[in-house]
Amino acid sequence: MAVTGIILAGGKSLRMGTDKGLQELCGKPLISYAIQVLSGLCSNMIISSSSDGYKSFGYQVVADEFPGIGPMGGIYSALRQSNTERNLILSCDLPFVSEELLSFILENAIGCQVAVPWQGNQHYEPLCGFYRLSVLEKMESFIQRGNYKLPDLFEEISINRLIINNESDFYHGNLFLNVNSKHDLEAAEKLMNNMK
């Protein structure tokens, strides 16, 4: 069954000071890491952003229908443009996410609306996960109520909470390392060079 890859690149990038998905990491724009891992699993790709800077990558770029409400707005708007029931969401600032991790999420997404990595309590990795189109209706009701918190949404839908830890073959400590600032970018560059 076809899967659409949705890359979230619409954040305000306040800590980076500029559009973070276009910042270079080891000689490549940060967003290209997300494109690379998703392209092995997805037949189609959507970039969630209001910036024209992403049009050069050759994929559909979708602006938020409800600007300024955070990731839920980007996910909602991109899902509304998706032509497939199954969708993989990945934020552009998670360069260490692997195709193995995304395959694991897909394999464990049967019979649920959302499947995301989970570390107990309310700690999810909601910007690296599987979202079925059927989640749109509930998401819309949350947006209309002014609640933009994805963990709150997860309490009201069918979800697979996936424990990813050092027992997983593909696990490493930087799997969900988030690149938000110039300092993070430098740290990620060192890590990436060490992993080669």
Question: Among 12-16, 38-42, 158-162, whose mean pLDDT is lowest?
Answer: 12-16
Residue 195 has pLDDT above 80, yes or no: yes
- Cβ-based neighbour number of residue 123 at 10 Å: 9
Beta-strand relationship, 60-62 and 44-48: parallel
Q: Number of folded domains in the chain?
A: 1
Q: What is the pLDDT of residues 89-121, one digit of tens each?
A: 999 999 999 999 999 999 999 999 999 999 766
| 9 close to 16: Cβ distance less than 8 angstroms | no
pTM for the model: 0.94
Give residue 184's pLDDT: 92
Supply the CATH number for residue 24's domain: 3.90.550.10
Return the closest-CA partner of residue 10 out of 147, 146, 127, 183. 127
| 84 close to 169: Cβ distance less than 8 angstroms | no
3-state SS class at 46: strand
Question: Can you tell me the mean pLDDT for 162-188?
Answer: 89
Q: Which residue range(s) make up the domain with 124?
A: 3-195
Q: What is the pLDDT of residues 20-56, one digit of tens each?
A: 899 999 999 999 999 999 999 999 999 999 998 999 9
